[in-house]
Each structure stands twice: as C-alpha cells, then as structure tokens.
Structure 1
Amino acid sequence: MITRVVQPFHLHKALEHVIANKGSAGVDGVSIRELRKVFSEKKLQLIEAIKQGNYQVQPILGIEIPKGNGKTRLLGVPTTTERVLQQAVAQNLAPLFEPEFSNYSYGFRPHKNARQAVGQSRDYIHSGLNHIVDIDLKNFFDEVDHCLLLNLIYKKVKCKATMQLIRKWLRAPIKINGKLQKRRKGVPQGSPLSPLLSNILLHQLDKEMTRRGHKFVRYADDFSIYCKSHNQA
C-alpha cells in the first residue's frame, strides 16, 4: 500500500485537499500559504524516508478551542506537511473500509451528512419508534485504545510500512503551552486520518447494534437508539 500512498497522483490530491481545508500551522510554523512550496521541496526526501521506514513524525500542536457549553476541546494539529501525508494514507485506507460501514453511520463519510442523519431519525419516529436513547461516548477521541485500533486496521492492511506510519502518528507527542507530552491513547481531533480511524473503531459498535436488531443512527461519536416503548428503551 505504501507505494500507492506516495504516488504523485495521491500526494497531489492530498496536497490540494489540505490546502482547500485551510487550517492553522503546526509546530514547524509552516502555513497553508507556504505549504505548496515547502512540500515540493521536501517531497522526494519524505518519500524515501517513508519507504525506508525511518520517517520521523513531528509532534502535534495542542490548541484549545471553546465549546458551546463553556468548556474547551483540545485539538491536536499536525504540521501542514504531515497533514498531506496523513490525507494520502486516508485516501488509500478508505476504499478498504468504507464498503463495510453501516448505512446508519453518517459522520465523516463520503455522500453522508448530518441532514441525512436527521432524516433517518425522523423516519424512525414516524414509524412509531419514538422512545429515544441518546448515548454519550464521553471523551471518545481522547480515549481510543491504540492497540485495538491498530489490530482492526491490520486485518485489512498488511503493509508494514503503512502500519508503522499510522502507529507513529497515533503516538506522536503533543505540544501544549510549549511543553511536550507523551500520548498513549486517543486520536487527535485535527488530523485528516482521525475521522476514518474513529469510524473504523466505532464500526464495531454499529455491528453489535445491528446484531441485536436495534434501530440506530450514529454521527461520529453521537449515537442514538430508537425504540417502540419506554420499557424497550
């Protein structure tokens, strides 16, 4: 897989995607405006390091942003160059996992959106499933078990170089207020890979809900089950 990831087509597509998404610079200070030039200069060196297995990841930059409830959410922002590489990996991982994802999973997926999730919820309610259980997956992104996630990915991705790269990104330290902190769990919100990785893990929950015959809607880590009665809920 790693040979596809570093092909010019995939890297160019990933570069344009990252530029279009904008966002702030990471720990190296390279902005989106500077990215095209910097990535062009570094590209061959990066490709060789990745193929040889000695690519060194940069720390992610911790940025706190306010939430609607007055609390803050910690974003982990990779460097702009690293975001291109992560996006290239995501582009190659997605076709392996997307076909198996549940039709009732609507977050961070192609041709799926929040409006469709609301529509499905409305359909459930109109059909008589008007007792709703809202499940709060508290701090999901911060609590993801790396070993469990990597094992799920490895079932479909046997490429050691790709797995090594993903493992390094998951365990990259985070820089908060100028100090580096180790990370042993979680996926950083701010990484192009995180939405796909979260869906890979939460697909296990979707499968269990389907096995039990539950009617549900999931949008990323927001999850609701629709029941006929209070007792069933």
Structure 2
Amino acid sequence: MQALERGLVDKLKLEKAVLDEVKTRRNLLPPEPWLHAIEQRSSKVAAWVRTRLLSGVPNSAGVVISARKMGHGIRPVPVVGIAERITYRALASHILKDQTLPTRSPEEYKEFVLGPISYAFEKVGRRRRVKVGESRIGYVVEADITAFYQYVDHEVLRQELYMQTGVITAVDRLMELLSDLSGRNFGVPQLLDASDWLSEMYIRIVERTLLRRGLPTWRFNDDFRIGCKNYREALTSLEELAYAAGDVGLVVGDHKTFTSTFMNYFFANTAVEVDEATAEFDPQDVEIAVTDYADMDEEESIAAAVTTLGRLDAIFDENHIDLKNIRRDDLRDLRRALNALSRNDDAQGLSNIKRLFQFVPALTPQVITYLVRMHPQQPEETSRVWKSLLVESASDWQNLWLVYACREMRMLAQNSELLEWVEAQAHGRRQEALRAEAHLTLAREHAVSFVELDAALRSAPDALAPWYVLGMKELTNSENPPSESQIKGLRQSSPLFSILMEDDELEA
C-alpha cells in the first residue's frame, strides 16, 4: 500500500479503531493474547499505526488457518497483523461513514425469515384473518453464496464503493491494503468487522439486480429468500440469482439451496403448529420459531440446552441427533446449547464434550470455550476432559484450540508430562499459528528460553510476532530472566514490541 496523504490520515479515527478492534471477537479462533495490551496503550498504538501509514511501511499478508466446517468443509480464516487490522477498520469506517449498514442482529434475522410470510399475506384485503392456503405465493427459494468472502473481486468492489460513496483516494488505498493482505486481487479476510461492511456493499449488487427484475427478494448477509408463485417460477428465480451472482464472480451454493412449498416454509419457520393448517390466523401475529436462547431467561436457556444434549442419547426418538450423520439444524442446536451453558456457567454438558469434539470438529470453538469457562468451578473434571481430547484431535486447528485451553487452564503447571505434547506443537511441520500459540504456552510456564523465542520470532510471519514478544515478556518473571541488554534490543527493534513489553497497568 502506498503512503497515505497526511490529509487522509488526519481523517482516520485510529485510536477509535484500536479500541473497537479490541472488542471484536473472532469466534473461530482463540482470543488473541495481545488484545488487553493494546487496549491499555491505545493512544501509543494509534500513533504507531499513523507513522506507518504516513511512511508507507509495507503491509504483511495474513496467516491462514483452516477451520473445520460441517462434514469435510474447510473455512480459511486469516490471522491479520495488528497494524493491518487497525488500518483496515479505520479506512473502511471512513469510507462507509455515511452508509446505513445492517447489524446482523437476531431481530434482523427474524425479519429476514418472516419476509416471505409477510409478503405472502400482504394483499388480503380488509380481512385480518386468513388461512395458510390463501398465500399469494406457492414456493420459497432459499439459497446462499459459496465461499462468499473468498471471492469478492477487488475491482468490482472498488467501482461499487466509488459509486456509492464518492470517495476515491481512500478507496484506492483500501484496495491496495486488501491486495497486500490476500496476495491477490480478490477476497476479504473473514471474521473482521470491516470485511462484513465491505461484503454488504458487494452483495447488494446481486440483491438489487433481483429486485430490478421484479423478484420478491429478502437477504441476510449472503443468504437469499425469493418468493415465487409456482415451481416453474422458482426454477427461473434460481437461474436469475445464479446469473446475478455470476456477474460479480460469485457462485450459488448447491448444498444449501432449497425450494420449499410455502406451506412447508411457513410451518418450518413459525411457531404455528402443522395441525392448524386450516385454521384462520392474523398474519400480523405470526412469530418466528425460536432461533436462539436470547429471548429466554437463565433457567429456560439451561433447560433448553440440556434437552438438546439429551437428544444425543435418544436413539429411538425422531429428534435424535446422530453425530455420525449430523444435520445442519442439529449443529446449530448443539452450538447454541454449548453457548448457553457457557454463558450460565452450568456444568451439565461436560459429559458430552469428548464425543462432540471427536465427531463434530466444527464445534471445537464452543467446546473449548465451554471447558475454559467451567475450569475455575470444575478444575479436576475439566482437566480430565481436556486430556481426553488430546487423542481425538485431527487437525492443527483443533490443536490450536487445545493449546489455548492448556495455557488458560494452566495444564502444564499441573502435569509436566504434557510438556512433551506442547513442545511437539511448537516444533516440526506444524501450522504457523499453532507454533506461536504453543511457544506462548511454554513461555507462560517458563519452559522455553529467550534465545529460542527470539529465533522463532525472526522466522515467524509478522502477524504472529506478538505471540513471541509476549512470550518473552512472560520470561521476565522467571528464575532466569533475559538480560537487560536482550530486552533493550527487543524493545528497540519495533515500536510495537516496545509497546507490548510495557508493564501492564493494575486493573481496578
């Protein structure tokens, strides 16, 4: 990326970007260990980023981790450097400051799901009560875009941002940054707020094409719903969606594309029972079926979570969850159940953790977050469960989460026999982010030397440098701390290193 003009840099709210980025939680990756450090020193971090922007310091590409999706699917999730993330957010915020963007809240999702239903009964005259069969549409097409974030074309996005914002120079610098991060002219990094905003601007191109062609269309992120009078129209609508997506380099996902009769869509997404098909109802009173535990109180959410987990053993029940042949709805229910138990510090799900981790790798973030959350209350049980997962992990991504939990639960302090396993993650042909997590975990227990960390830092991608620097900081409290000259040399190597090595402020 070229050096930014001073006038543009002055308009960027860099310190706000620092503080806002700290609040971002990337649910497919363990929390970054540097979040607290840069939050405490937000003004210094902002000043450092400002200097980088004015001087045109090259940006580093992110380190990509392959997170598991349902089945054998893989989602590439990049670890992006601190300066790059802050610059990305600040530029995108500046460019889109006058745009109205969705928050992707549960309320917006409910409106999206209810869209075809509200439309179906929009013209029922003065009568307030109708029957399901009186709908003005007969089918609902449900579809989404395959690998949406990966295939956002930078040039198409550039032209769209030009047209919608009228901002030219900042957009050009943003496109250069995206190219630096991805190493190509397409794709935006997943799990960052700025990418959500930019992807929204991009997918609106597809949506407005459908609307201009007269198709009743509703959208939530890259999920689409299209209302159709008959099956022939449903097939035509799918073709129109495929053409509109293809025009901007996107592809409709076959595995998540469905055409439902309106009646099936209605009963699948509302609280109305199937046996009420011939009964009259007020369309304005229709509510979406519960899609989360957000509307429940503590007792209700725990009870719902326990009921969901109980379906794992209900072999002869029609609602049985078969982990070897898990369905998308089952995965969603299990994810919500684990989140609810974590949120409420309830240990009733611990007995199910091993098999969920083994058979449904996509649940790894929820499984590990739950273990870490419950550890202070159930140290012996959570430690036993964590150890049982070591033989079940099948990918560097799962091991990344296990190493994170090892550090948070202080497993090495409890059992030195685990040292060999963590050291194996820190060395050899392992994923770079996993090596960084493992080195920091070893440093937490003073089981690695400053020299080794320094050597690893020199060869590590810039995006992962904070892990090694924070590991060196851990060693300053060891029995054999690094020398003053070693620390001085590290601090002088980078303003970021100096910031990360500062003593933490005491929290109130």
Q: TM-score if structure 2 supplies the norm length?
A: 0.38
Q: Percent identity?
A: 21
Q: How far apart are residue 130 of structure 1 and its match? A: 3.7
Amino acid at match of 2:149: F
SS at match of 1:64: strand
Change (3 A) 1:110 1:165: farther
- Contact 2:151/2:187 (<8 A) preserved: yes
Amino acid at match of 2:210: M
Q: Which protein, 1 or 2, shows the higher relative CO under an 8 Å CA cutoff with sep ≥ 6? A: 1
User: How far apart are the structure 1 equivalents of 2:25 and 2:36?
Assistant: 9
Amino acid at match of 1:196: W
- Contact 1:25/1:32 (<8 A) preserved: no
Please name the residue that 2:39 is paired with. Answer: 36
- Contact 1:75/1:188 (<8 A) preserved: yes
Aligned residues between the structures: 212
User: How far apart are the structure 2 equivalents of 1:4 and 1:131?
Assistant: 52
User: How far apart are the structure 2 equivalents of 1:173 and 1:85?
Assistant: 12
User: How far apart are the structure 1 equivalents of 2:53 and 2:168?
Assistant: 12
User: How far apart are the structure 2 equivalents of 1:125 and 1:60?
Assistant: 46
Please name the residue that 2:8 is paired with. Answer: 2
Please name the residue that 1:186 is paired with. Answer: 187
Please name the residue that 1:93 is paired with. Answer: 95
Amino acid at match of 2:228: C
Amino acid at match of 2:188: V
Q: How far apart are residue 4 of structure 1 and its match? A: 5.6
Change (3 A) 1:15 1:58: same
- The superposition leaves residues 188-210 of structure 1 with CA deviations (integer Å, 9 ceiling, x where unpaired) of 21333211111111111121112
- Contact 2:15/2:42 (<8 A) preserved: no
Larger helix fraction of residues: 2
Question: Cα RMSD between the aligned structures?
Answer: 3.0
User: How far apart are the structure 2 equivalents of 1:46 and 1:149?
Assistant: 25
- Does residue 158 of structure 1 match 2:167? yes
Q: How far apart are residue 56 of structure 1 and its match? A: 2.3
Please name the residue that 1:195 is paired with. Answer: 196
Which residue, out of 3, 13, 20, partners 2:16? 13
Q: TM-score if structure 1 supplies the norm length?
A: 0.76
- Contact 1:60/1:76 (<8 A) preserved: yes
User: How far apart are the structure 2 equivalents of 1:200 and 1:58?
Assistant: 25
User: How far apart are the structure 1 equivalents of 2:53 and 2:30?
Assistant: 22
Gaps of 5+ in 1: 175-181
Amino acid at match of 1:124: Y
User: For 1:1-233, what aligned pairs fall within 5 Å after superposition?
Assistant: 2-3=8-9, 5-6=11-12, 10-23=13-26, 31-37=34-40, 39-51=42-54, 54-98=56-100, 108=103, 113-126=108-121, 127-155=135-163, 156-160=165-169, 162-173=170-181, 182-233=183-234
Amino acid at match of 2:223: D
Q: How far apart are residue 39 of structure 1 and its match? A: 4.7
Gaps of 5+ in 2: 1-6, 122-134, 235-508
Greater C-alpha Rg: 2
- Contact 1:22/1:32 (<8 A) preserved: no
Larger strand fraction of residues: 1
- The superposition leaves residues 139-195 of structure 1 with CA deviations (integer Å, 9 ceiling, x where unpaired) of 2211121111112112324342x2243123211245xxxxxxx33311121333211
